[in-house]
Amino acid sequence: MSLLKPAKFFLGLSTALVVVSIALFIVPGPRLSIDFTGGTMMEVRIPEETTRGDIAAAIDGFTSETELGNVTLAMTKDSSVLLRMRDITNEEHIALQKHLRSELGQIKELQFTTIGPTVGATLKKRSFWALGIASLAIVLYIAFVFRKIPRKLSPWRFGIIAVITLLHDVFITVGIFVIISHTTSFEFDTLFITALLTILGYSVNDTIVIFDRIRDNLAEQGRKEDFAAVADRSLSDSVTRSINTSVSTLIMLSSLFILGSESIRWFVLTLMVGSIIGTYSSLFLATPLLVFWKKKA
């Protein structure tokens, strides 16, 4: 069975998903953490019997001249909790400590950090730069690796299509997590950007394996076989390997998601979503785009 036959359907589906994801990024937009907006991070050690519900109730009961607004909780394995909130004054900080002690019992503050809005804006700018530089580096690397591709195919096509599929993966992942950020406690932070960069590496690795198979088959066949047929056969040769790799990765990530610390749970979930989308784009987007571009050339 040809894997290129449903290509038009998947290209249309991917285009629609990318457009929806971009629209979601604009409206309603992602809910950003204090890493990007500025705010206060406070980590306290709590009594072992304290539950997440107890902490949430204690914070909800705290009153000050200005409401704390949305407070993100992250429980850790060592009986401590990480609180992220708006920038609070020293008086509010002291009052919050006293309130938590009265509600939860003996607590110990482990760290208290304030991130200014200027630092947050700098982190946001650097995050975009990191994604951009990574994409450019991938184009250059793939163009260099495939510089001796047979049949005088441009190696730049391989690099550009690889980056198109990577941007596809990033846009859709971001769109999904925009929805999650408005329905759960998740917020876009620097750890999420780290996960996106990890997804870029994972997805491009899968794409390069398929492209490398195309290059090998082209070298073997010379000019005897149509390029689309070679690409289709190369894709068929790689599909089992790609799916097996993806499944084994998901098994490991699922174990981390279930058994790992809550502080990395959103990071792991991002990797899980990204690995699924990355496998899909490597199989059903990258190679068809390469074939379509070759036909129009």
Q: What integer pLDDT is reported at residue 297 of this predicted model? A: 60
Q: What integer pLDDT is reported at residue 221 of this predicted model? A: 64
Q: Do 20 and 171 contact (CB within 8 A), yes or no?
A: no
pLDDT in tens, 105-115: 888 999 888 87
DSSP assigned state of 83: E
CATH number of the domain residue 52 falls in: 3.30.70.3400
Instruction: Verify that 25 and 63 share a domain, yes or no.
Output: no
C-alpha span between 128 and 134 (Å, rounded): 10
Q: What is the model's pTM?
A: 0.84
Average pLDDT over residues 193-211: 88
Give the chain's length.
297
Phi, psi of 27 (to 5 degrees): -135, 120
Q: Is residue 182 part of a domain?
A: yes
Instruction: Verify that 187 and 217 share a domain, yes or no.
Output: yes
- Where do we find the tokens 């938590």? 100
Mark which of 49, 84, 115 sits at the end of a domain: 115
Locate 62 and state its tokens.
């705290």
pLDDT in tens, 232-246: 888 888 888 889 999
Average pLDDT over residues 148-170: 85
Kind plus residue range of the DSSP H or E element containing 73: strand 72-75
Instruction: Verify that 173 and 254 share a domain, yes or no.
Output: yes
Locate 122 and state its tokens.
């700098």
* Centroid of chain to Cα 189: 11
Please write down the long-range contacts of 84-88, taking CB distance under 8 Å and 24 or more positions apart: 84/33, 84/34, 84/39, 84/40, 84/41, 84/187, 85/34, 85/39, 85/40, 85/42, 86/34, 86/39, 86/40, 87/38, 87/39, 87/40, 87/114, 87/116, 88/40
Per-residue pLDDT at 151 exceeds 80: no
Q: Is 69 left (phi over 0), alpha (psi -120 to 50) or beta?
A: left
Instruction: Verify that 19 and 143 share a domain, yes or no.
Output: yes
Instruction: Verify that 29 and 145 share a domain, yes or no.
Output: yes
Q: Is residue 1 part of a domain?
A: no
Q: Over the chain, what is the mean pLDDT? A: 87
Look at 70-79, 136-145, 283-292 and tell me which has the smallest mean pLDDT.
70-79
Q: Do 230 and 242 contact (CB within 8 A), yes or no?
A: no
Mark which of 62, 87, 115 sits at the end of a domain: 115
Instruction: Verify that 213 and 145 share a domain, yes or no.
Output: yes
Per-residue pLDDT at 68 exceeds 70: yes
Per-residue pLDDT at 77 exceeds 90: no
Using pLDDT thresholds of 50, 70 and 90, give the confidence band for residue 192.
very high
Instruction: Verify that 69 and 140 share a domain, yes or no.
Output: no
Average pLDDT over residues 64-89: 80
Q: Is residue 67 part of a domain?
A: yes
Per-residue pLDDT at 261 exceeds 80: no
Locate 241 and state its tokens.
């390997």
Per-residue pLDDT at 1 exceeds 70: no
Q: Do 138 and 162 contact (CB within 8 A), yes or no?
A: yes
Q: What integer pLDDT is reported at residue 156 of this predicted model? A: 87
Instruction: Verify that 180 and 229 share a domain, yes or no.
Output: yes
How many domains in the chain? 2
Q: Is residue 2 part of a domain?
A: no
C-alpha span between 292 and 181 (Å, rounded): 37
Instruction: Verify that 133 and 189 share a domain, yes or no.
Output: yes
Instruction: Verify that 271 and 155 share a domain, yes or no.
Output: yes
Q: Is residue 227 part of a domain?
A: yes
Q: Is residue 249 part of a domain?
A: yes
Q: With both helix axes pointing from N to C terminus, report the angle between 7-26 and 287-296 in degrees, rounded to the nearest 10.
A: 110
pLDDT in tens, 48-61: 888 888 988 998 88
Mark which of 115, 138, 157 sits at the end of a domain: 115
CATH number of the domain residue 277 falls in: 1.20.1640.10
Per-residue pLDDT at 269 exceeds 90: yes
Helix, coil or strand: residue 45: strand
Instruction: Verify that 139 and 255 share a domain, yes or no.
Output: yes
Task: Give the residue with greater pLDDT, 177 vs 291.
Answer: 177
Could you list the residue range(s) of the whole structural domain that residue 68 is in? 39-115
Instruction: Verify that 126 and 272 share a domain, yes or no.
Output: yes
Q: Is residue 258 part of a domain?
A: yes
